[in-house]
Amino acid sequence: MKIDKYIALSGYTSRRKAYDLISEQRVLVNGKAATHTTKFNEGDKVEIDGEKLVVKKFIPVYIAYNKPKGIICTTEKIPGNIIDAVKHPEKIYPVGRLDKDSEGLILLTNHGEIIDKIANAKAGHEKEYIVTLNLPVRKKFLEEISAGIDLNGEKTKPCKVSLVPGTKRIFKIILTQGLNRQIRRMCNAFDYQVIKLQRVRVINIGLDKLKLDEWRDLSDEELRKLMASLS
């Protein structure tokens, strides 16, 4: 198998991050710098940043975390990083991103291949959000963003939007793409300011009653449906 896949399966990091490590020439196979075409064979010695890669017995971990505002979706050792916030005993990684000013559901796992399948924007997986604005939601605004708008030369895909019943400033939006700060930029384009942005669902995984800064393991049924949607 290719070396980036082997690194991901070892539990060291995701396959995408492994690809970056290879690009940065931080991976050696039998003493030679690995390339993206290098293949791992039984008995090969793999080193990352000068340390031998030790393959752990793989026990898959899949959790849902209700990220508070202020937590950063990074594995870098900086203040407020999501790994320190979760404090999981296994080495896990966030699936995709949720910006610092937003809160809500984010998945974390040690299964590198799953990270890439879920986070890849080309897959078109649904992500659902609840958005609170500074002003009442106009019908025309919902109609235009649902059809897609231009954001600095890039057209957003059609999406599902609806006003939350009994409210004037809160709407629900379901996206199948993940442009950088997409919802905030869509709202800003119509002179709205986002007061609160909460993600409540990723594919079939819902936030449900999970409290802020708490996490839970995915249920067997959730995992079954998730894996079926990725196959």
Instruction: Tell which phi-psi region holds residue 192, choosing left (phi > 0), alpha (psi between -120 and 50) or beta.
Output: beta
Q: Cα separation of 93 and 205, whole Å?
A: 17
Q: Cα separation of 67 and 15, whole Å?
A: 24
Backbone torsions φ then ψ of 23, nearest 5 degrees: -60, -35
Active-site choice (4, 20, 44, 99) = 99
Contact (CB, 8 A) for 141 and 134: no
The closest of 206, 204, 155 to 179, measured between CA atoms, is 155
Q: Cα separation of 112 and 47, whole Å?
A: 18
Strands 103-109 and 194-202, by their bridges, are parallel
Does residue 101 carry a catalytic annotation?
no
Longest dimension (CA), the chain: 65
Q: Known catalytic residues?
A: 99
